[in-house]
Structure 1
């Protein structure tokens, strides 16, 4: 059925379409086809039963458990209260509790409504006035790259995803002991030169050479997906998807309360499909943290298979772990023996006055080679320069290595 302009849609169809657009603006990966599927699904249920309508729309729109709270809030406000727009606008207003300053707002639903709410009418421009529309300028790129992942709204998240998607990283190569055929070099290939001479009736006219082969160094990502790391974990996954599309040798493991290998899921061509598949596969997303137990499982089952060939381990976590600290210390020491080097990406380093007071941070710190921040796009792009250098790592222990900055703001000698 084709819908022409000027023909009014039934009230239910218009409301369902409006609801799907609201979810899409709030960050859900939906297309216009989802609205058509939703209308078709409502024909097979009793629309008088609220729970059935909620379950049908949730089955079509949700791609992971982390989207459920946002969906429930949008469904309750849209389908229950006639003044749902007023309540959504109220989410944009700061709240004051007991005289405390209002918390930082991070509400994708309110951002989506604000983007769709028409502003006050403006006088039309004159004929002589010139307008230049620029979707995202270079300055906007710079500002977006410096923004903390935790403070981005839905539109900024989509812009950030487009920036990461269009980027192709090329990391450093490492020499191997294997030799490959080359047009010139210092290693003469006698067998290939002899075969060439036979084909030329015994005339030894040209030499064949071999040179050392180069390959990309493997990378192993251990990503914390606990509640305090949820926004940063999603951004790192998009960044690692771009690395895998650049044919980097990478293995990706997520850990919260358990360890999950998501390397195969991250090979999907579309990053949104890959992240959606991962959030549906991982059951402990935005849950608790058991870093020591997860590292023990990785060292026991995966370390020997993934850390061969001078592999670099990227450990992305805030280090907040309240369980067995002795186990965490022992497993970090074991991981350091397997890996060529360990790069710790900690979002808490965005705070200038951060110091390693937590016991989990103190247990991890002596076993890492490099300590970097991972709270915005700039920090992730600086990681490419670090990974391009395959120099042997340092073990900072309690003092640090040359060029690394400690928590007091001084540089280790």
Structure 2
């Protein structure tokens, strides 16, 4: 089976993982990740469920005045997320073509804004915020493709004299491609608005497609698929997290934003499935919940020299959710024993966490925490509750119980191999 998958499936998965448009989307989201974390933490600080904390700040700064700090950070992060993405995705795609990334980013940003809706005080929140993510991705990719092709034409190149500063030369070199690209997208927007009577394209797209799609991805079946794919790909030596990251980030940004808005309004978070949920309850120690594998090795494989050595080396990185030493050191990749619990464990954990959250026993994950945050602490911060920390701890115990029989089996096989080697000597 491994031979078949390695020959037929792995090359396809590798090509998908290195596809330039998916890589541009992934890197575009990664570039703004610090902002989403800062925005999430600001909302957390505004909504800590500690009466003494709130009363103290209200007495110092006035009722509700201190929350403006978090609101201002929200306005500089989540409220302009689509604008930022149109810039970062265009930049990364153009760089992959060897073109001027900054010019492409500015043009992608402007092209996206041609589809924006202007209200009384400027562009609406649906244009700038997470509701425009899908449109921002599509237009940034398309506009960059158009710009890169036009900028490769010598007929559209305005050459400046040798003494002109490089920044000015690049600006004039991008002038005609920029005019054509932005003009083309403005024309498409005009045709759609006038011909189909859709004044708010982004809002209409969100209501018709993005919001229903978010609802579909907020199910148990979707959670199982999202838990299975990266673990399965990792067992074949393919970086599963990188492949699924563009899709995960696309559904994640709007889900986190809507959860934070609900949190501020004192309502229940509508989206269970998001990246904070997976980081807190599934990817503990890395893909495959491998923090549990390290614990299982310390319990039952201390006499297995290879497992003990790799386990010791993997303990510190695993605490911060980095598991490459385990993946390639044991290895887990193409391992006929460990690939079963490596795939099974995240699917079991995601099922438990999903239904526990759905039944209201644990608050939904609403806070984007750095993915390197250690397990249990991550669950505490992501859900802003002690119940999240307890759930993380329980899931680690469940994962250890799943890994233990397979670690014991691998340990026995290692002893047999050692006995055979000794007999041959």
Normalised by the length of structure 1, the TM-score is: 0.22
Larger-Rg structure: 1
Kindly indicate which of the two structures has a greater share of residues assigned to helix: 2
Higher RCO (CA-CA < 8 Å; seq separation 6+): 2
Kindly indicate which of the two structures has a greater share of residues assigned to strand: 1
